[in-house]
Amino acid sequence: MSGSLGIGLIGTGYMGKTHALAYRNVHAVMGGLPPVRLKTLCDTPFAKAEEMAAQFGFEAASDDWRSLLTDPEIHIVSVTTPNKLHKEMALELIAAGKHVWCEKPMALTLEDAAEMEAAARTAGVVTLTGYNYVKNPVFKLAQELIAECVIGTPVHFRGWVDEDYQADPDLPWTWRARIEDAGLGTLGDLGCHLVSMAYGLLGPIESLIGDMQTVHATRPMPDGSGHGEVENEDTASALVRFANGVQGSLSTSRSAWGRKNRLAFEVHGSKGMICFDQERMNELQLYENSGPKAQQGFKTILAGPEHAPYGHFCPAAGHQLGFNDLKVIEAAELLGAIDESRSAYPDFTAALEFEKVIHAIAESARTGARITIGG
């Protein structure tokens, strides 16, 4: 398409800032994309929206996100609000013909996520869901190595994602502890990222059996009025079977002391293994069962300009990309999809498949049954 794309942003927290930075940097880094215009930033109260609009470089501020619906100069809206608000905002934005970049999880329930997916598919707008980790150049390298049978036939997947932001029992109660506001706990915050990687490497998960627990049943209320119940899970795990027959396991915790973003996986093959850890996001470990036994061992592959699109950021290996660079790659995917009239990945349709898995883990944990995941 010709001309610039007007951007609306809802939310000014951590993720809102990453979206703002991505929009500001994507054209300079990538080139060859439609230019963007940072039009309106929305948050409450208005004074906060006004302050952050100036900081992020937006032309205008608003405390009413619905003002974006009728603004003909806004083409794309980023939704970076708490989980509870995603569905309502996305549905109204889609109905208004806006392209939507929404942070994960899509919604609190699988039914709500399915409604969002159907609306986007019917309207024909471009959607993107915030699974930035699958945009890592070394993750793409892992996909290529598997597709090229460098490690032979995949036979097992092991993945885990751990953080410690809820490890301290004395941390105050927040909205994240209430199902009505947050939905799932660690599965919605962290586990869905692991699922997105598992899908990208080995395809759909066919069935699973899950378990979960709440480590800290209550937390002190911020106002000192006692303790509030923690309604969702702090840890969860599942034994999974992929549609291609590969077996695997998934594990996630938001109460793992010392872990900051340990989103890691191993893919075991008949001729070798691939290992990755997001805390060392510019490295991929590869083991190949070839050559003299005395010389075999894991080798470390450092991300470099040979691993697109790393070269757009830096011409030298070993200098490393960061989390915010992955958001720039996401923004490029969104703008490119709009420009080329194609779907972005992962759009709401792909993200719905990831969310089917995390909700299946929760259902299995409640019922004790193995769950078959429908298409």
DSSP conformation letters of 331-371: HHHHHHHHHHT---TT-HHHHHHHHHHHHHHHHHHHH-S-E
The beta strands (E) that lie in 121-246 are given as 127-129, 154-162, 205-213, 218-220, 227-229, 235-242
Confidence bin at 278 (pLDDT 50/70/90): very high
Q: What is the domain range of residue 64?
A: 5-132
pLDDT value at residue 252: 98
DSSP state of 297: -
* Claim to verify: residue 90 and residue 218 sit in the same structural domain: no
One-letter amino acid at 272 equals: G
Report the C-alpha gap between 195 and 131 in whole angstroms: 10
Q: What is the CATH number of the domain that holds 364?
A: 3.30.360.10
Phi, psi of 179 (to 5 degrees): -60, -40
Average pLDDT over residues 297-322: 97
Cut 0.75: pTM above it: yes
Domain total for the chain? 2
* Claim to verify: residue 117 and residue 219 sit in the same structural domain: no
Among all chains, which residue has been given the structure tokens 């906060």? 48
One-letter amino acid at 100 equals: V
* Claim to verify: residue 241 and residue 214 sit in the same structural domain: yes
Tokens of 323: 């989390």
* Claim to verify: residue 153 and residue 89 sit in the same structural domain: no
pLDDT tens digits, residue range 325-363? Answer: 999 999 999 999 999 999 999 999 999 999 999 999 999
* Claim to verify: residue 174 and residue 283 sit in the same structural domain: yes
* Claim to verify: residue 24 and residue 87 sit in the same structural domain: yes
Report the C-alpha gap between 178 and 74 in whole angstroms: 33
* Claim to verify: residue 229 and residue 286 sit in the same structural domain: yes
Among all chains, which residue has been given the structure tokens 């691939």? 274
8 Å CB contact between 160 and 252: yes
For the chain, what is the mean pLDDT?
97
pLDDT value at residue 375: 62
Average pLDDT over residues 33-54: 98
